[in-house]
Amino acid sequence: MDSGKLHISVPVSRNRVISKLPKWYTPESCLQFKEDFHGKVKGACQNRHTRSGGLNISKVVVVGDLYVGKTCLINRFCKDVFDRDYKATIGVDFEIERFEIAGVPHTLQIWDTAGQEKFKCIASAYYRGAQVIVTVFDLADIKTLEHTRQWLQDALKENENTSPNIFLVGTKRDLLSPAECERTENDAIRIASEMQAEYWSVSAKTGQNVQEFFFRMAALAFEESMLRELENSSLSTARIGEANVIRIDENAEAPQSKRTAEPGLGCC
Amino acid sequence: MAERALRIPERIEEITEPEELERLYQQLCEEERTVEAELESFVNQKGSIAAKMIALQRMGPNLQLIEGDASQLSGMIKFTCNLAENVSSKVRQLDLAKNRIYQAIQRADDILDLKFCMDGVQTALRNEDYEQAAAHVHRYLSLDQSVIELSRQGGEDSMLDTNLSLLQEAEQHLKVIVAEKLDQAIKEGDLPQVERFFKIFPLLGLHEEGLGRFSQYLCTQLASKAAQNLQLAMGVELSEARAALVFADTLTLLFEGIARVVETHQPIVETYYGPGRLYTLIKHLQVECDRQAEKVVDKFIERRTYHRKFQVVQNNMMRNSSERIEPRELDPILTEVTLMNARAELYLRFLRRRITSDFEVADSAAPEGITQEHQKSLEKLLNDCLLSRNMQELIGYYITMEEYFMKETVNKAVAMDTYEKGQLTSSMVDDCFYIVKKCIGRALSSSSIDCLCAMINHATSVLESDFREVLFNKLRQGFPATTLQDIQRGVSSAVSLMQSSLQQGKFDTKGIESSEEAKTSFLVTLNNVEVCSENIMTLKRTLENDCAKLFSQGSGKGDQARAKIDSCLSDLVAVSSKFKDLLQEGLTELNTTAIKPQVKPWITSLLSISHNIEEEEFNEYEANDPWVQQFIVSLEQLTTEFKAGLSSVIYDNLTSLITSLIATELEKTVFKSIFSRLGGLQFDKELRSLIAYLTTITTWTIRDKFARLTQMATILNLERVTEILDYWGPNSGPLTWRLTPAEVRQVLALRIDFRSEDIKRLRL
């Protein structure tokens, strides 16, 4: 029922439309404090309606120990299902999620890697060219949090020239009492700030924060890819009438954000 | 009408004009005429209406007659209906009675059957005719349980009870006997007996058990065959033709054996056990397959020192090991692993196809839930079997080793790079792409999509970082300039050469003996870069075709696999454009360091040729060309060198850069000169010859690049300042001015015979 398997030409499904920059999970560990997209990006988005812009893709790599729930997290978001049975991922799985962000189509390629040691060789071949690295750990298993450093290091090794957005995600939140959760989260936030990552606690079983997390990730990846593209185009060609574009944008921005206030995006 | 009658008198007072009166009168007359015509037509119709009325009156009595008939008919119908009702109720009773009779007969038959079975089983068992006995038991089992219950209530309790218990006893007895017999037959390996008893099981309702025992028999057969094959494989001499692939071959034999077993026994299973049972059979067989495959894989790992090699490779990749392994040594083992995986994939595909079609037959009428359940258990069987896990593990190691193989071999190709005179590119490009293609091709031959994608990614990395780096460093050494620049450049290039050889260590040990060699090296590298970006596109297209073939064979999981490959291929294509960028950088470098320093003095030498000339000098110039011929000759010399050494695409690119350079430099120079009327004419001639020459060496038009200069020449050629207005603004016609008004004034000012007041006065 989702757009997971759909082809490129199919319109974006309604529950994948993001109009405002979603908020962070916790201000102690967050990549961007802005309330809305970068002004230049918004301008370009307005402009993009008329142009048939190129295909916009961000590559997301999900890493972490085995049995922390990487596949469950992705399946909850992409297919809205939760399968209690553990099935080890073989090599890599792959999902395509299509979004419409600030009126511009954007595609996330989510590469779900295997956590088992024996698949590390095959999985690590997929780390390159990632715009987003999601390191996942199990909130109920503190050891897996320790291992995220190594996972991130491995993933970053294949992306030396670019600086991907990094997220640290704790899963299985439903298994913990609020007090336990707070304790683990404090540790996680510390590690996240070392990694320069944004921290999120989620539960694939209840669905808590899953959509919020993916939306946030998609929006930040989108913003980054737009900024990169703008930089490239401003390097190669002189922009004529750019000032004009921005002026139009400022007028049009207010009604747009009002029209599409996303319900239920508040933090919990 | 009344209305009108009322209205008209009112109006009459208002009507003062005779014309108006006349018109109204006319109107009234008109109306009168139409009314009259209407009336006329009504009167005409009167006759026909009267006739119709008479006809109607005549029909009156007939209608009464019809009414009587109709009520009579209805009475008859009611009667008939009642009669039919009566008859049919009797028929229904009859039918019910008939059904009951049938049931009674059926029951009697059943009871008779039961008795017959009781007797039959005993005799059959005594005669060891197990088929017969099983048929009796089957008959008994298929009887309605309620019949037996009813028979029991029938009265002759004791006899039937004893008989029934006898029958049940016989059934149990038979089950035990058949199981024993089957086990015995299995032990003896007596296929006809095995099949005989195997067929009896479903009659006794023991489908699962029958399949279990039968597959146990098949498994022992497979096991002994597999053990033999493995034994044979271990004995293969190294010199034999397929020695390098012996484990893949053994695995193939195992799979083929199982496939043959499935082929031969599927009909029996289907006939005696019904459709939908193949899954159970294969599930049992797969256990043995896993066991045997693992043995082969274990032997393979042991004999080929697979893990050891992996360890060494991994240490080498980490660059913390002194022990090195020759990539060439890995070649055969990598091929064997991919072949093994390909065979396993083929085998699993075979199983999937067989089981799916078997389920399809069985589930054609089954609800959605059961079909899904079956599909799920099939996936579980195929994905979670030990065989696929083992294969995945092998492939995991394979990828690292293949990556190592590719990296090392590419490095070697770079190190052994040679260039033959007359060739545009050097050997390393072809070699490198041969290697990349081979490695990806090998990954493809494993039929594993994940493996293929992983290798495409590694190839992308190798091309983008390792190989591009090599070419980049070569280009960074620059193109040695000749003449004056030599000394200057010599120092800096030596420095950069030292730096780069320090950084890379191995690629530039050859050094560059002469500037001639350095030049060739630079040009060859440019060609290499171009060919690389071409080759990547070719590689992508080839891979797309190959993948399409792979998918058409039905491997992989369809859409998802396709999306994975598309994504990896698009990353690969991105590298092609990086090479294109590199080519552009190299060309710019060539243009600024080698061409600009030479061309610029040639152009500035124009300054030393006075264009403030009179008739006499103009004629002199006519006879002895002062500048342009020499310039063209020098350019010719400069470009020939590049034309020979560069591919036509790059050469075109370069000449385009050169022409742009000439245009800008010449423009600058012109702004520094002064011109007389004839000097302007002279420049116009010079420019025309130059453009004519440049057109011959470029493939596309250069008119556009020289548009500004041509326009400047036009201005310098004017008779009077005001003549410009014939070409400017509304008079410009098809000409589009590339010069701004300020520039036009500037150019006009270059003419010494034009007064600055006139120029200032111009309205542009």
Distance (Å) from the alpha carbon of B741 to chain A's nearest alpha carbon: 22
Residue B394 CA to residue B338 CA, distance in Å, equals 9
Q: Report the pLDDT value the prediction gives residue B296, as an integer from 0 to 100.
A: 93
Residue B542 CA to residue B561 CA, distance in Å, equals 17
Mean pLDDT of B331-360: 91
Give yes or no for residue B344 having a pLDDT over 50.
Answer: yes
Give yes or no for residue A268 having a pLDDT over 50.
Answer: no
Q: Report the pLDDT value the prediction gives residue B214, as an integer from 0 to 100.
A: 86
Supply the ipTM of this predicted assembly.
0.75
Q: Of B9 and B185, which is predicted with more confidence? A: B185
Q: Report the pLDDT value the prediction gives residue B402, as an integer from 0 to 100.
A: 94
Measured at the CA of B154, the angle between CA B151 and CA B157, to 5 degrees, comes to 85
Q: Of B330 and A118, which is predicted with more confidence? A: B330
Of A16-20, B290-294, B386-390, the one with minimum mean pLDDT is A16-20
In which band, very low, low, confident or very high, does the pLDDT at B557 lie, cut at 50, 70 and 90? low
Of B279-288, B361-370, B451-460, B583-592, the one with minimum mean pLDDT is B361-370
Q: Report the pLDDT value the prediction gives residue B96, as an integer from 0 to 100.
A: 94
In a 13 Å sphere around the CA of A87, the CA atoms on its Cβ side amount to 17
Give yes or no for residue B31 having a pLDDT over 50.
Answer: yes
The CATH number that applies at residue A63 is 3.40.50.300
Q: How far lies B506's CA from each of B500, B502, B509, in Å?
A: 10, 9, 6
Give yes or no for residue A76 having a pLDDT over 80.
Answer: yes
- Name the strands in the sheet holding A132-138, side by side, starting at the edge strand that comes first in the sequence: A17-18, A92-101, A104-113, A57-64, A132-138, A165-171, A198-201
Q: Report the pLDDT value the prediction gives residue B482, as an integer from 0 to 100.
A: 54
Which tokens hold the place of A124? 């690590």
| Structure confidence by residue, pLDDT tens digits, B593-643 | 888 888 898 998 888 888 888 888 888 888 888 888 999 999 998 888 888
Over its C-alpha atoms, chain A yields an Rg (Å, rounded) of 19
The answer for residues whose C-beta is within 8 angstroms of residue A255's C-beta and 6 or more apart is none
Query: Residues of B with CB below 8 A from A59's CB?
Result: 567
Q: Report the pLDDT value the prediction gives residue A234, as an integer from 0 to 100.
A: 66
Distance (Å) from the alpha carbon of A167 to chain B's nearest alpha carbon: 22
Name, of A253-267, B505-519, B678-692, the range with top average pLDDT. Answer: B678-692
Of B192-201, B518-527, B544-553, B685-694, the one with minimum mean pLDDT is B192-201
Of A159-168, A234-243, B66-75, B427-436, the one with minimum mean pLDDT is A234-243
Q: Report the pLDDT value the prediction gives residue B145, as an integer from 0 to 100.
A: 67
Record: contact A128-B559, CB cut-off 8 A: no
By CB neighbour count within 10 A (0-12 exposed, 13-18 middle, 19+ buried), where does B707 fall? middle
Of A186-200, B39-53, B81-95, B187-201, the one with minimum mean pLDDT is B187-201
The answer for residues whose C-beta is within 8 angstroms of residue B325's C-beta and 6 or more apart is B309, B312, B313, B316
Q: Of A4 and B459, which is predicted with more confidence? A: B459
Q: How far lies B390's CA from each of B238, B250, B302, B309, B490, in Å?
A: 25, 16, 14, 17, 60
Q: Is A22 contained in some domain?
A: no
Q: Is A170 contained in some domain?
A: yes
Q: Is A242 contained in some domain?
A: no
- Find the chain A residues whose C-beta atoms sit closer than 8 A to any C-beta of B: 5, 57, 59, 90-94, 96, 109, 118-122, 125-126, 128-129, 158
> In residues, how long is chain A?
268
The answer for residues whose C-beta is within 8 angstroms of residue B514's C-beta and 6 or more apart is none
Biggest CA–CA distance in chain A, Å, is 58
Q: What is the dihedral of CA A109, A114, A117, A123, to 10 degrees?
A: -30
Q: Which of A122, A128, A228 to mutate to test the interface with B (most CBs of B within 10 A)?
A: A122
Record: contact A125-B559, CB cut-off 8 A: no
Distance (Å) from the alpha carbon of A166 to chain B's nearest alpha carbon: 21
Q: How far lies B47's CA from each of B42, B55, B59, B256, in Å?
A: 10, 13, 19, 104
Mean pLDDT of A167-175: 93
Residue A73 CA to residue A206 CA, distance in Å, equals 11
Question: Taking all residues of chain B, what is their mean pLDDT, rounded to a whole number?
Answer: 84
Query: Residues of A with CB below 8 A from B454's CB?
Result: 91, 122, 125-126
Range of the domain at A74: 52-231
Record: contact A126-B454, CB cut-off 8 A: yes
| Structure confidence by residue, pLDDT tens digits, B381-405 | 888 889 988 998 899 899 999 999 9
> Which helix (H) or strand (E) segment is B114 a member of?
helix B18-126
Residue A258 CA to residue A253 CA, distance in Å, equals 9
Record: contact B564-A92, CB cut-off 8 A: yes
- The answer to whether residues B251 and B293 touch, using CB atoms and an 8 Å cutoff, is yes
Quote the percentage of chain B above a pLDDT of 70.
90
Q: Of B274 and A150, which is predicted with more confidence? A: A150
| Structure confidence by residue, pLDDT tens digits, B703-714 | 888 999 999 999
Q: H helices within A128-239, ranges in order?
A: 142-157, 178-195, 210-236
> In residues, how long is chain B?
764
> Coil, strand, or helix at residue B359?
helix
Mean pLDDT of B288-292: 93
Of B223-232, B447-456, B503-512, B699-708, the one with minimum mean pLDDT is B503-512
Strands (E), B201-303: none
Of A41-50, B627-636, B663-672, the one with minimum mean pLDDT is A41-50
- The answer to whether residues A68 and A137 touch, using CB atoms and an 8 Å cutoff, is yes
Q: Report the pLDDT value the prediction gives residue A26, as an integer from 0 to 100.
A: 85
Record: contact B567-A118, CB cut-off 8 A: no
Mean pLDDT of B668-688: 91
Query: Residues of B with CB below 8 A from A75's CB?
Result: none
Record: contact B396-A121, CB cut-off 8 A: yes
Q: Of B239 and B676, which is predicted with more confidence? A: B676
> Which helix (H) or strand (E) segment is A169 a member of?
strand A165-171
Give yes or no for residue B5 having a pLDDT over 50.
Answer: no
Name, of B10-19, B174-183, B314-323, the range with top average pLDDT. Answer: B174-183
Give yes or no for residue B754 having a pLDDT over 70.
Answer: yes
Q: Is A9 contained in some domain?
A: no
| φ, ψ at B2 (rounded to 5°) | -65, -40
Q: Is A46 contained in some domain?
A: no
Q: Of B549 and B163, which is predicted with more confidence? A: B549
Distance (Å) from the alpha carbon of B236 to chain A's nearest alpha carbon: 31
Distance (Å) from the alpha carbon of A156 to chain B's nearest alpha carbon: 14
- The answer to whether residues B589 and B545 touch, using CB atoms and an 8 Å cutoff, is no
Q: Is A253 contained in some domain?
A: no
What is the count of structural domains for chain A? 1
Distance (Å) from the alpha carbon of B571 to chain A's nearest alpha carbon: 8
Q: Is A70 contained in some domain?
A: yes
> What burial letters (b/e) apply to B134-151, b meaning 16+ CB within 10 Å?
bbbbbbbeebeeebbeeb
Q: Name the nearest CA neighbour of B564 among B449, B463, B437.
A: B449
Q: Is A168 contained in some domain?
A: yes
| Structure confidence by residue, pLDDT tens digits, B82-127 | 999 999 999 999 999 999 999 888 877 777 777 777 777 777 777 7
Mean pLDDT of B38-46: 91
Quote the percentage of chain B above a pLDDT of 90.
34
- The answer to whether residues B537 and B598 touch, using CB atoms and an 8 Å cutoff, is no
For residue B564, what is the nearest residue in chain A, using CA coordinates? Answer: A94
Check residue A97 and give left, alpha or beta (phi > 0: left; psi -120 to 50: alpha): beta
Residue B43 CA to residue B50 CA, distance in Å, equals 12
| φ, ψ at B611 (rounded to 5°) | -110, 10
Q: Report the pLDDT value the prediction gives residue B556, as an integer from 0 to 100.
A: 52
Question: Taking all residues of chain A, what is their mean pLDDT, rounded to a whole number?
Answer: 80
- The answer to whether residues B306 and B413 touch, using CB atoms and an 8 Å cutoff, is no
Q: Which of A7, A121, A229 to mutate to test the interface with B (most CBs of B within 10 A)?
A: A121
